[in-house]
A = this chain, B = another copy of it.
Amino acid sequence: MSEGFPDAEYAARVARAQGALEKIGAGALFLTTEADIRYFTGFLTRFWESPSRPWYLVVPLSGKPIAVIPSIGEALMASTWIDDIRTWSAPRPEDDGVSLLIDTLQEIGGPVAVPMGYETHVRMPLADFERVRAGADIMPDQGVMAGLRAIKSPAEIARIGQTCALAGRAFDRMGEIARPGVALSDVFRGFQRLLLEEGADWVPYLAGGMGPLGYRDVISPAPDTPLQTGDVIMLDTGAIRAGYFCDFDRNFAIERSDKRVTDAHHKLIEATAAGFEAARPGAAARDLWRVMSDIVGHGDGAGRMGHGLGMQLTEGLSLTPDDETPLEAGMVITLEPYIATADGQLMVHEENIAITDDGATALTRFSAPEIQILS
């Protein structure tokens, strides 16, 4: 059981990678992370949650990628389009696939490009990587991997849209789980249940906040504090279906809404609409930040208000004052303006869109300007 795209989808990705490798003078691409390896193979498993075993993929200049993986993953990898699967019995700390990997890299020939820039990490012990570096000619991938993943295929965009749709259905059911007296921690549990009922495979991310005038931050775990009449509650979810994320939020007022909250929500929706209007090929990431920022009233020092989205909750460009990345058709991004409502309190709103040839298309059902009241 692979991720389920046709082989041609993976073959096209590999072909694009090989063209890019040739341009930077690399002989191979070496990958260690879940998303990067799945991108070329369709190898989808939650087993990455265990840190005990490294997984390696080598993309040569021609031909299919070669998997160098623990034997526990052989059956699953063999169900993908990959043919050349080299395994060892992991964990074997004294040589956890390293010599097998070095042999493979030497057979294919270098230099070996490795993602080592912004937003990457090398998912293997550093001491083992040093051994690889001693046995192979390592070079930076110069953003090749990030560049490939930034432009989604129609099949990928359809997947993200499907995940957005199921999360939208879960948000439609918020009234079932959020009312005065329910602890925020139980709202979090309840919302994850709704996401699963609506078809999520699993829920890697859920954040949120609540309070009469907004929330203090958007990354804290849910306290057991009960919801009260007049609170605004925000949930921000990164659910997964078929290996692709959504990442958006919704705000709700419990029975009634303070005028400052109502007005802030209007501004957030207005900013999101302006960001959507500005989103088209050729516009830069920071242009979208600017049009949203002008509405919600930030100075130049404010944080990001959106980012790329796909196989990971956040990936690629950032809507910040400094990110000059030009938008391209096939990018999927979030629009995520935030606004201060009171001292130390804020509200945030988020939608997901795909850039098209002449503009953008909504992947989430955009919120109305009026904050939803749960009663």
A196 touches B205 (CB 8 A): no
CB within 8 A of A196: which of B1, B125, B189, B221?
B189
A96 touches B118 (CB 8 A): yes
- A163 within 8 Å of B by Cβ? no
* Pairs A–B under 8 Å by Cβ, sample size 26: A45-B207, A45-B219, A45-B220, A45-B221, A46-B205, A49-B204, A49-B238, A50-B312, A51-B315, A75-B217, A75-B220, A89-B301, A91-B318, A96-B118, A117-B127, A118-B125, A120-B125, A121-B123, A122-B122, A188-B201, A189-B200, A192-B192, A192-B202, A193-B196, A201-B222, A204-B204
Q: How far is the CA of A220 from the CA of B1 in the complex (A)?
A: 7
With A1-B220, A207-B47, A320-B91 as given contacts, are A116 and B121 in contact (CB-CB < 8 Å)? no
Residues of B within 8 A of A303 (CB): 71-72, 89
Q: Closest residue to A123 on the B side, CB-wise?
A: B121
- A114 within 8 Å of B by Cβ? yes
- A216 within 8 Å of B by Cβ? yes
A193 touches B202 (CB 8 A): no
With A118-B91, A313-B49, A314-B51 as given contacts, are A206 and B202 in contact (CB-CB < 8 Å)? yes
Residues of B within 8 A of A221 (CB): 1, 44-46, 201
- A119 within 8 Å of B by Cβ? yes
Q: Is the interface of A mostly helix, strand, loop or mixed?
A: loop
- A203 within 8 Å of B by Cβ? yes
- A250 within 8 Å of B by Cβ? no
A127 touches B122 (CB 8 A): no
Interface size class of A (residues with CB under 8 A): 35 or more
Residues of B within 8 A of A193 (CB): 193, 196-197
Each complex incorporates copies of this chain amounting to 2
A49 touches B205 (CB 8 A): yes
Q: Closest residue to A114 on the B side, CB-wise?
A: B126
A228-282 interface (Cβ within 8 A of B): 238
B52 touches A219 (CB 8 A): no
Q: How far is the CA of A202 from the CA of B208 in the complex (A)?
A: 14
B196 touches A192 (CB 8 A): yes
Residues of B within 8 A of A127 (CB): 116-117, 140
Q: Whole-angstrom distance from the CB of A336 to the nearest CB of chain B? A: 12
- A73 within 8 Å of B by Cβ? yes
- A322 within 8 Å of B by Cβ? yes
